[in-house]
Structure 1
């Protein structure tokens, strides 16, 4: 969806000669979606983008999952997965811990202070929310900076690496699709422009501004891709060795590239009575959506109940990552910043006991959360299993079991 951009040195006409200053031609690469039938960009390399000199298996970590059985709402305490001293030596790619996943999406968490290897995800797009810390993400399209509250959208197949830049580690909530991730279709015109009723616009999407040129030989790149072997969960990896550095692009143009979006630029939609979660939607993927709940004025009907009503997820599992403020509906449940809640399809959920009464008369909620709704059941990853508090399911009944 991102609008057309042209960065660096590109020829006047596509698919025509682009001479190199020292002789010879640049190598044109089309990076496109849906087999030449959707968004794409043309990149101009000094080296051959398909050249490799070696390939070996790379295990991308424990991506196995177990069913949510018995069917329970759950609370995962993500801060327990890492400590800052350990994180100094971890990177934002290989240290990810899988919290939840299904055939459409995987949700991971990572705390990292070291540079990552070069990496690309050949399974689908990635949406990475930075909870804390700062980093520069170098990509084949150019560099992007992230800070607390930044969403980073990385299209499938984008070679990149994470370079933490702050005094402390970067904390990332990673949503990996098996599809593409884009703004909701209802926000877009038939030509792809964000419409007036959308809660953000093109000015809020920030792509690379200049090429990133790096030199090197025998450069390693980690690739996550599909697997058909039992036990892999459909995911495996390969370690390539490239004769030249992948960051050799002198220019590119098109509508497919990584970009950032600051959650503070999302303009919340409010009403006289409680608005349903779709008004908070920011992105969508195949069989899932991403919403964010930001600080906002709440319902202004004189008899309004500001916190959500009880609801049953008939068609979806709801995953909420609590990343700032004080989430009114969950007070008393043990949930705090860095927590993730899972409310599975087939189980009614809503505010904790007493939350409705406490919310009456409220005019503003100071809360920040990222929500993923999936349309197929989620299973528990290794990181979810070890951080489940074991008590959340009973919290609506006063904690008794």
Structure 2
């Protein structure tokens, strides 16, 4: 946005709080109207009624909730797991794997980010071997050849940044070690396990390019590196390594929880933390509009304190175009009897362009989700 348009601002009209998300005028509900996610110009409205207090909803634009636990997502290859939500920048898949991959795969469309929702195992790739567990992110650069040997049944949320590359967020005045120290990033090793899997037997690589799969057969295992050097590699970090940014006097926006930045999307991680203790501070996510981004939340574990009837393995999608925020019961509890800490772990994907859903996703939708904000008066 042209900065000249906001020169001389902010302004205040009518009765308003001095600080966003704190000490709201009595009996009001705050709504944030922001641009460029939480990075651009922003205003805060104070309403007499909850911004999500709708009575009836018609038309295709609406909030969605999907129970991915009910998807038939078991497959020997990630390329057999159909995209659930997608646009030109991102493809989201949910993939379950219970047996060793018998061939190798390569994504030639973009970087792949695997979030390990369940299970554990061994990850072999061009760069070597690493062991993974539940709660890990595995960032796989475009063009990398890889395969997995599970030691426990696995379920992955896969986030492809089509024609893009993942990087870490800028930390600015927070310093190099904020959120998680880069020393927490693990990378594959040329170790005994990696060398032991090298053989002279035929191996196939299934390559995904523009949605089509090509198969290349080698008379040996292509994962035969004896060493490497450089800055392009697979990286692993666990949500347990993340030290969330917090303020006891102000509810921070989701952008402070950014874990990875891609082209046309950001990936954020919500992890356990203390709840704001200042008497006048909001203690649940504030009502806000989706004016530039679609928002997807994948729920990994814990008690999802701002949502009713949401369980681990579910995913919500709030398209751009309407306000959303805490459910009425959660908001009321935060005012009358707030918890001291929250234990939820969730992955948020914000996309700059609208997301489309495949037909199979509608079979696991909770169609009553849009009505779960009804009766929003406290």
TM-score bin, normalised by smaller chain: 0.7 to 0.9
Partner of 1:209: 189
Q: Distance in 1 between matches of 2:345 and 2:78?
A: 25
Superposed CA deviations along residues 47-73 of structure 1, whole A, max 9, x for unmatched, are: xxxxxxxxxxxxxxxxxxxxxx71111
Written as runs of structure 1 = structure 2, the 5 A alignment for 1:157-306 is 157-166=143-152, 169-178=153-162, 179-184=164-169, 186-187=170-171, 195-196=175-176, 198-210=178-190, 212-213=194-195, 214-226=198-210, 235-271=211-247, 272-306=249-283
Q: Distance in 2 between matches of 1:80 and 1:343?
A: 20
Q: Displacement of 1:363 after TM fit?
A: 2.1
TM-score (norm 1): 0.74
Partner of 2:125: 139
Partner of 2:313: 338
Q: Displacement of 1:385 after TM fit?
A: 2.2
Q: Distance in 1 between matches of 2:300 and 2:148?
A: 21
For residue 62 of structure 2, give the secondary structure of its aligned residue in structure 1. Answer: coil
State yes or no: 1:347 paired with 2:331.
no
Q: Distance in 2 between matches of 1:111 and 1:157?
A: 22
Match of 2:353 among 376, 383, 397: 376
**Equivalent residues of 2:83, 2:92 under 8 A apart:** yes
Q: Displacement of 1:163 after TM fit?
A: 1.0
TM-score (norm 2): 0.78
Q: Distance in 2 between matches of 1:397 and 1:321?
A: 23
**Equivalent residues of 1:98, 1:382 under 8 A apart:** no
Q: Distance in 2 between matches of 1:78 and 1:368?
A: 16
Match of 2:67 among 53, 59, 77: 77
Q: Distance in 1 between matches of 2:312 and 2:202?
A: 42
**Equivalent residues of 1:95, 1:112 under 8 A apart:** no
State yes or no: 1:152 paired with 2:127.
no
Q: Distance in 1 between matches of 2:333 and 2:273?
A: 17
Partner of 1:232: none
Q: Displacement of 1:158 after TM fit?
A: 0.5
Q: Displacement of 1:197 after TM fit?
A: 5.7
Q: Distance in 1 between matches of 2:78 and 2:116?
A: 14
For residue 259 of structure 2, give the secondary structure of its aligned residue in structure 1. Answer: strand
Superposed CA deviations along residues 158-184 of structure 1, whole A, max 9, x for unmatched, are: 000011112xx1011110111111111
State yes or no: 1:112 paired with 2:97.
yes
Q: Distance in 2 between matches of 1:157 and 1:133?
A: 25
Superposed CA deviations along residues 237-273 of structure 1, whole A, max 9, x for unmatched, are: 2111123321111110011110110110000111111
For residue 292 of structure 2, give the secondary structure of its aligned residue in structure 1. Answer: coil
Q: Root-mean-square deviation (CA), in Å?
A: 1.9
Q: Displacement of 1:145 after TM fit?
A: 1.4
Partner of 2:56: none
Q: Distance in 2 between matches of 1:387 and 1:151?
A: 25
**Equivalent residues of 1:110, 1:172 under 8 A apart:** yes
For residue 84 of structure 2, give the secondary structure of its aligned residue in structure 1. Answer: strand
Q: Distance in 2 between matches of 1:126 and 1:283?
A: 12
Q: Distance in 1 between matches of 2:143 and 2:175?
A: 29
For residue 337 of structure 1, give the secondary structure of its aligned residue in structure 2. Answer: coil
For residue 110 of structure 2, give the secondary structure of its aligned residue in structure 1. Answer: coil
**Equivalent residues of 2:79, 2:208 under 8 A apart:** no
